[in-house]
Amino acid sequence: MKIDAARIERTLADAARADAGAAREALAQARLARGLDEGQVAALMGLSDPELLAELFQTAAAVKRAIYGNRLVLFAPLYISNLCANDCAYCAFSSGNGSLKRRALTVDEVRRETLELVRQGHKRVLLVAGEAYPRQGFRYVLDAIAAVYSAREGAGAIRRVNVNVAPLAVEEFRLLKGAGIGTYQIFQETYHPESYRAVHTRGPKADYDWRLGAVDRAMSAGIDDVGVGVLFGLFDWRWELLALLQHARHLEEAFGCGPHTISVPRLEPAAGSRLSEHPPKPVSDVDFRKLVAILRLAVPYTGIIMSTRESARMRRETFALGVSQISAGSRTNPGGYRDGEAGAQFSLGDHRPLDEVVADLVGLGYIPSFCTGCYRLGRTGADFMDLARPGEIRAHCDPNALSTFLEYLLDYAGPQTRADGEMLIPALLEGMEEGPRATSRRLLEQVRAGRRDVYC
């Protein structure tokens, strides 16, 4: 995998000469929900006319509804270690940050942290570790995954672990696959080689090509659900977006399916990092909303993840523009769910607990989803994409979302959230097509009868 920087530069130069007609042609193509090429993406990047911006946002909302409906998948990050061998200028976990108290959770501590999340109502986690391990080496990650799956309280458990850890060799990726993970996630941070070298000065992460090739190695090892992303603010977001799309196209051509998820974090302040206080290429709120909308139109089948780096207001605004997965009640330090936020990797913008986030989604008419059914039924990789591209995945995901939502309401929600959620469910059912509605009613009846983890 190589990023064609010269091609990106040519595309951006051509886009600088594009007019409103080119943007409208791109939007007309986007409405078909078949994706956009690089030139069409670039034509939308320069939009500033309020009327055209509104049209962009409306188109993104329509495409998102067609493929993902009005559900939002919820998860929590689970940081197991902040040990790191890298000097990254934007990160509190940087090995050069002598003020950070280092910690790697034991297996028992991982299990206790997981139980804290289970008691909140979470069903899926993203396991995160700094890029260095205790003496067990990579086995430490595998043991932590097993500990997460072993943590149970009543009917509560984490049903799917996604993983964000350092780039691995193919054989290690096979072991990760064997541990029963869902998605392997890794961010290039910045695809721009010169900017990458400037902020990654020491450690394994300084090797740009080894990191860029990680997703290829993961997919070669049999992990067919992968997640990619950019840390926006390190370089021009337009350049980064085109590079990210090159990466996605490469995966489609090489492996038959693109990334299952794309994350869109913006650089936020991190303790011990002066660069994080003043991003080299900050992304305005207007441009951030724009890039989310463009990304939804460019790769309509892909889940877009919005973390708690962003404020509650910004998160709400981007739900309709393309976001389909969000973290909630997050802590970004090892042991954070039991011990508090000291030693976090970066500053959070949304500190609300899970129940408050769920209540907010209910008020906005969204289905808060804790579904993990696709992973258990083998709807991953190309099989998932084949259903997502034409929007057929909704026939499975909407009923599963509703059943897990009801589980949450009955088992974990506060009284007001439960009351509001129970009122929303009939309206959500009414908006479904006949087949998914019948499936949803059947699953909901099973949940009300006491069954848990029912899915189709």
Q: Based on the domain organization, do 201 and 331 belong to the same domain? A: yes
245 and 304, same domain (yes or no):
yes
Asked if residue 262 belongs to a domain, the reply is yes
Boundaries of domain holding 40: 5-65
One-letter amino acid for residue 306 of the chain? M
- If asked whether residues 393 and 438 sit together in one domain, one would say yes
Number of domains in the chain: 3
Q: Are residues 395 and 310 in the same domain?
A: no
Give, for 336, the enclosing helix (H) or strand (E): helix 336-339
> Which whole-number Å values give the CA distances from 143 to 78, 139, 295, in the listed order?
14, 6, 36
The pLDDT confidence band at residue 393, using thresholds 50, 70 and 90, is confident
Alpha helices in 365-414 (DSSP H): 373-377, 381-388, 394-411
Is the per-residue pLDDT at 389 higher than 90? no
- The answer to whether residue 422 sits within a structural domain is yes
On average, the pLDDT of the chain sits at 94
**Higher-confidence position of 345 and 30:** 30
pLDDT at 348: 86
Q: Which of 68, 50, 59 is nearest to 374 (CA)?
A: 68
Q: What was the pLDDT predicted at 229?
A: 97
- Judged against a pLDDT cut of 90, whether residue 339 lies above it is answered with no
Task: Note the pLDDT of residue 372.
Answer: 85
- Shared-domain flag, residues 57 and 78: no
Average pLDDT rounded to a whole number, residues 298-327: 95
* 3 state DSSP class of 205: helix
Query: What are 183-228's pLDDT values in tens digits?
Result: 999 999 999 999 999 999 999 999 999 999 999 999 999 999 999 9
356-382 tens-digit pLDDT:
999 999 999 999 999 887 777 777 777
DSSP 3-state of 390: coil
Identify whether 379 is part of a domain: no
What confidence score (pLDDT) does residue 184 get? Answer: 98
Say if residues 308 and 346 touch (Cβ distance below 8 Å): no
Strand partners, 160: 124
3-state SS, residue 265:
coil
- Residue located via tokens 């097993």: 146
Indicate if 305 and 417 belong to the same structural domain: no
Q: Which one of 351, 372, 399 terminates a domain?
A: 351
Q: 412 and 302 share a domain?
A: no
Task: Give yes or no for residue 86 having a pLDDT over 90.
Answer: yes
Residue 380 belongs to a domain:
no
Residue 57 in any domain: the answer is yes
Task: Looking at the structure, tell me whether residues 59 and 86 fall in a common domain.
Answer: no
**Residue 20 covered by a domain:** yes
- 346 pLDDT band (50/70/90 cuts)? confident
Pick from 11, 61, 49: nearest CA to 286: 49
| Each residue's pLDDT tens digit, 112-142 | 999 999 999 999 999 999 999 999 999 999 9
Is the per-residue pLDDT at 345 higher than 90? no
Residue 116 lies in a domain: yes
Amino acid at 200: H
Among 351, 373, 397, where does a domain finish? 351
Confidence of residue 298 (pLDDT cuts 50, 70, 90): very high
Could you tell me if residue 180 is inside a domain?
yes
Burial class (CB in 10 A: 0-12, 13-18, 19+), 106: middle
Q: With contact defined as beta carbons under 8 Å apart, do 292 and 305 qualify?
A: no
CA distance 23 to 49: 11
Cβ neighbours for 308, distance < 8 A, ≥ 6 positions apart: 315, 326, 327, 328, 330, 348, 349, 350, 351
The verdict on 252 and 299 lying in the same domain is yes
**Model confidence at 391: pLDDT above 70:** no
Separation CA 128–CA 79 (nearest Å)? 5
Q: Which of 25, 45, 65 is the last residue of a domain?
A: 65
Distances (CA, A) of 109 to 12, 105, 135: 49, 5, 17
59 with 85, same domain: the answer is: no
The answer, yes or no, to whether residue 341 has pLDDT greater than 70, is no
Token pair for 350: 């949304």
In angstroms, rounded to a whole number, what is the distance separating the alpha carbons of residues 332 and 283?
22
- CB-CB contact of 281 with 233 (8 Å): yes
pLDDT of 167 strictly over 70? yes
**CATH at residue 213:** 3.20.20.70
Residues 294 and 414 in one domain: no
Q: Alpha-carbon torsion 425, 324, 52, 312, what sign? A: positive
Say whether both 60 and 90 belong to one domain: no
Among candidate residues 397, 410, 393, 414, the one with its CA nearest the CA of residue 450: 410
